[in-house]
Structure 1
Amino acid sequence: MEYVNDITINEAIIHVLDNNGEEPLLNEELLNLNDEVYEFLFKHIQRIFKDEELKYAVFNENRNIIKDISQEYLNCENSLVEVSKEIANQMFSLMKSNGNIPSCDLVVASIFTEYGPMLGIIKMDYVKNYAHKIDYEKGKMGINIITQFTGLPASGQKIQKAAFIKLLKEENDVDLMVLDKQKNTKNKEEYGSNYFINNYLGCSLISNERDMTKNFLNAAEKWTRNNLSENADVAEKVRSTIKKSVLKEDTIDVDRVCDELFEEPEVKSNFKEFVKDAGVDDKLTVDKEWVDKKLKRVRLKIDKEIDLYINEEVYHDNSKFEIQRNGDGTINMVIKFVKNYIEK
């Protein structure tokens, strides 16, 4: 996984795309990137790159306006103002053809990272804000609260849809990084479908190391809950073995993990089929950076009554914490030599 940490914003522009309008409001000037505006955009971009739903993608082979126009800019063949207008026009056309796509301000930004230059497209859906309104009538002041629907998401709020496009090269495995969060809806034809990926960007998602690692851990945990809910002893062995594997190994061989975990052929086959159905390959590369961050702490929900947060290192330190196996499928979890505790 290419974790982007070094971000510099070169230039940026914003356009207004209002579903109620006949035409988009296209900016003719670049944003003035003073300290406050720069910080606002930087925090949003930084948050997008850290979002676990950010995916790898490649452009489809058929002709694509977003692909072509972005490469014009990245190859220094056109200005950000002109390129961004076409990018905004393409989004507005989709919005007018699909009334479920919400109005927004569209930010197009040129950035430089440790992986080279990228062109960012950030769809900033409007958020509801509240403000006061002052009226004077017959010499009296009246103050009311009114709603405003054109507020931009604050830097602490999450963006739903964004893309960062690379300069296309033959040696690239990835053309762009895409954030496409889906709206929870029973009707898949509503906003929340894949219009951003399929119709706008014209790209296809591809797996990355973080997604594969995350899918494997999630599938293993779901299998354990489904099959070992009444056997805490074996469940603890399965969870500890799998976590130890992803922490120590660079590559996971599912067959080898099954051999280490289970003796019964039926159980091995059941586990392997379950994780395969969850989209996990027989062999997968571990995203060590994601694992180191995610598995630093263990959160345990014990018999639906006790929550326990514990450092992964301490969990395996028998001088501080110990798993005692009772031989009947139950276990004791012993916290040792407590010197101090507080109640929260």
Structure 2
Amino acid sequence: MEYINEINISEAIIHILDNNSEGPVLNKYSLELTEEVYIFIFKHIQRCLRDEELRYAKFTEEKNIVKEIAYEYLNGENNLINVSQELAKQMFRLMRSKGNIPSCDLLTVGFTTEYGPFLGIFKMDYIKSYMHNVESINGEVGINIVPQHMGLPSSGAKIKKCTFIKGTTTTNEYDLLVMDKQNKKISEEKEYGTNYFIDNYLGCKIVINDRDNTKNFMRATEGFIQRYLNEDAIKAEMLREQVREKLINKDNIIIEDVASIMCDYKESYLLHMTTNCENEFEVDKKYVEKKLKKIKLKVDRDIDISISQEAYSDQSKFEVIKNDDGSINMVIKNIQNYVEK
């Protein structure tokens, strides 16, 4: 996966999309990129680009206004004000037709990276914040706390829906990066309905990349070990260690090869993995490095251990000792100092 590190914001504009209004409130001027505003937008871009739920996608062949006007901007054929206004109109039409899509501000950003120009679109759902309200009651000062429903997500908050549309090249592995987080509560899922952001607004299809395969492989394999070897700590530890070694030392993962270390569970593992990742894929080394930097263990449901990969592999600091009854001991060694948190 392409990991974007260089972000240079050139311009940005924001529009108001309120379900209680007859139409969108369209801004006719670009934002003044003061230092504070620049940092606010930069941090949102950076946070979204680093989010594990950001996916590759390609536009479908069908006619799509968002695709067309985005490329007008990226190809220098139109300016950000015109393009962003049309993007806002399209989102507002969708909000009205689908119903129950939350009101928001639509932030559109033009920026450049080491991979060329991008157009970022952020659906910034309003968050509830609180402020004090001072009033006079019988000649005395009264102060209440009142909710505010129109706040934008802070630079440290997570945005649920955004996209980064890439300038066209002859070797595009993807057309855009997409994040479309769904509410996990059943009642809220029913409100949102179908996947409107990807299917109806952007008109794109998700493309599986190496990070997706690597992430799904790690999650599915751990899930399999927990399911089939929850009563055999020794074998579970052995398999986890071998899987980690493959991820660290191999450039490619072949599911058949991993299944061969599962012993009596080979066929069950192969069946388990069919819907989780491709049979062969290239390991995303940056993702593996990030995930294995800290090994987090949940021991017998009531003990949590977080330890660096380096310390975990150093037997002078940490050791897993096998017992005859199939259990294991985890021993922390040579402690010179510790603090209570």
Q: Given that residues 181 and 192 in structure 1 are in contact (C-alpha distance below 8 angstroms), is that contact kept between their aligned partners in structure 2?
A: no
Relative to structure 2, which stretch is displaced further, 279-288 or 68-77? 279-288
What code does the residue aligned with 1:107 have?
L
Relative to structure 2, which stretch is displaced further, 52-61 or 300-309? 300-309
- Structure 1 residues 185 and 307, CA gap change in structure 2 (3 angstroms): closer
2:63 corresponds in structure 1 to 63
Give the Cα–Cα distance (whole angstroms) in 2 for the partners of residues 135 and 340 of structure 1: 55
Tell me the CA shift for residue 257 of structure 1.
1.7
1:22 corresponds in structure 2 to 22
Q: Write the deviation string for residues 283-302 of structure 1: whole angstroms up to 9, x where unpaired.
A: 11111001111101111112
Tell me the CA shift for residue 240 of structure 1.
0.7
Give the Cα–Cα distance (whole angstroms) in 1 for the partners of residues 181 and 250 of structure 2: 31
- Structure 1 residues 93 and 332, CA gap change in structure 2 (3 angstroms): same
- Structure 1 residues 337 and 71, CA gap change in structure 2 (3 angstroms): same
The correspondence for 2:323, drawn from 303, 318, 326, is 326
What code does the residue aligned with 2:66 have?
I
Tell me the CA shift for residue 80 of structure 1.
0.6
1:90 corresponds in structure 2 to 90
1:271 corresponds in structure 2 to 269
Identity of aligned residues (%): 51
Q: What does 1:136-155 correspond to in 2, within 5 Å?
A: 136=136, 139-155=139-155
Q: Given that residues 299 and 308 in structure 1 are in contact (C-alpha distance below 8 angstroms), is that contact kept between their aligned partners in structure 2?
A: yes
1:210 corresponds in structure 2 to 211
Q: What does 1:237-276 correspond to in 2, within 5 Å?
A: 237-259=238-260, 261-264=261-264, 267-276=265-274
1:288 corresponds in structure 2 to 285
Kindly indicate whether residue 77 of structure 2 is the aligned counterpart of residue 80 of structure 1.
Answer: no
Q: Given that residues 262 and 269 in structure 2 are in contact (C-alpha distance below 8 angstroms), is that contact kept between their aligned partners in structure 1?
A: no
Tell me the CA shift for residue 99 of structure 1.
2.3
4+ long deviations beyond 6 Å: none
Q: Given that residues 109 and 120 in structure 2 are in contact (C-alpha distance below 8 angstroms), is that contact kept between their aligned partners in structure 1?
A: yes
What code does the residue aligned with 2:314 have?
D
Q: Given that residues 60 and 202 in structure 1 are in contact (C-alpha distance below 8 angstroms), is that contact kept between their aligned partners in structure 2?
A: yes
What code does the residue aligned with 1:340 have?
N
Give the Cα–Cα distance (whole angstroms) in 2 for the partners of residues 142 and 330 of structure 1: 64
Give the Cα–Cα distance (whole angstroms) in 2 for the partners of residues 326 and 127 of structure 1: 53
Q: Given that residues 184 and 192 in structure 1 are in contact (C-alpha distance below 8 angstroms), is that contact kept between their aligned partners in structure 2?
A: no
Tell me the CA shift for residue 272 of structure 1.
1.3
What code does the residue aligned with 1:305 have?
D
Query: Structure 2: 5+ residue runs without aligned partners?
Result: none
1:114 corresponds in structure 2 to 114
What code does the residue aligned with 1:190 have?
E
Relative to structure 2, which stretch is displaced further, 110-119 or 319-328? 319-328
Q: Write the deviation string for residues 79-98 of structure 1: whole angstroms up to 9, x where unpaired.
A: 11001110000000011112
Give the Cα–Cα distance (whole angstroms) in 2 for the partners of residues 272 and 158 of structure 1: 36
1:236 corresponds in structure 2 to 237
Q: Given that residues 19 and 103 in structure 1 are in contact (C-alpha distance below 8 angstroms), is that contact kept between their aligned partners in structure 2?
A: yes
Give the Cα–Cα distance (whole angstroms) in 1 for the partners of residues 302 and 198 of structure 2: 43
2:158 corresponds in structure 1 to 158
Query: Structure 1: 5+ residue runs without aligned partners?
Result: none
Aligned residues: 340
Q: Given that residues 182 and 192 in structure 1 are in contact (C-alpha distance below 8 angstroms), is that contact kept between their aligned partners in structure 2?
A: no
Give the Cα–Cα distance (whole angstroms) in 1 for the partners of residues 244 and 28 of structure 2: 53
Give the Cα–Cα distance (whole angstroms) in 2 for the partners of residues 80 and 229 of structure 1: 55
What code does the residue aligned with 1:230 have?
E
Give the Cα–Cα distance (whole angstroms) in 1 for the partners of residues 293 and 87 of structure 2: 41
Q: Given that residues 182 and 193 in structure 1 are in contact (C-alpha distance below 8 angstroms), is that contact kept between their aligned partners in structure 2?
A: no
Tell me the CA shift for residue 131 of structure 1.
1.8
Give the Cα–Cα distance (whole angstroms) in 1 for the partners of residues 231 and 291 of structure 2: 26
Tell me the CA shift for residue 138 of structure 1.
6.1
1:221 corresponds in structure 2 to 222
Q: What does 1:121-136 correspond to in 2, within 5 Å?
A: 121-136=121-136
